[in-house]
Amino acid sequence: MFRHNVRAMPLRHLGSLTLGALAVAFPVLAPHSDADDSPAPDTRWAPVAQVGTEERHDPAPRVNPVRAERHDRVALASLDKATRLAETIASYAALRDAATAQGAPDAAVTRGGQVFALPTTGRLTSAAGPRWGTTHYGLDIANKVGTPVFAVGSGTVIDSGPASGFGLWVRIRHADGSVSLYGHIDRSLVRVGQSVRAGDRIALMGNRGQSTGPHLHLEIWSADGRKLDPATWLSRRGLDVG
pLDDT reading at 215 higher than 70: yes
Domains along the chain with CATH numbers = 108-235 (2.70.70.10)
For 110-135, the pLDDT digits (tens) are 988 999 999 999 999 999 888 777 88
pLDDT reading at 242 higher than 80: no
Q: Are 202 and 150 in contact (CB under 8 A)?
A: yes
For 167-212, the pLDDT digits (tens) are 999 999 999 999 999 999 999 999 999 999 999 999 999 999 999 9
pLDDT at 132: 72
Q: Across the chain, what does the average pLDDT equal?
A: 80
Task: Give the rounded percent of residues in the chain with a pLDDT score beyond 90.
Answer: 57
For 54-68, the pLDDT digits (tens) are 556 566 666 566 666
pLDDT at 49: 47
Q: Which of 9, 44, 14 is nearest to 30 (CA)?
A: 9
pLDDT at 46: 47
Whole-model pTM: value is 0.68
For residues 170 and 159, give the distance between their C-alpha atoms in angstroms, rounded to a whole number. 5
For 125-163, the pLDDT digits (tens) are 999 888 777 888 999 999 999 999 999 999 999 999 999
Torsion of CA 229, 235, 239, 242, to 10 degrees: 70
Span 212-219, mean pLDDT?
97
Q: Are 217 and 183 in contact (CB under 8 A)?
A: yes
- 112 compared with 101, residue with greater pLDDT: 101
End-to-end Cα spacing for the chain: 112
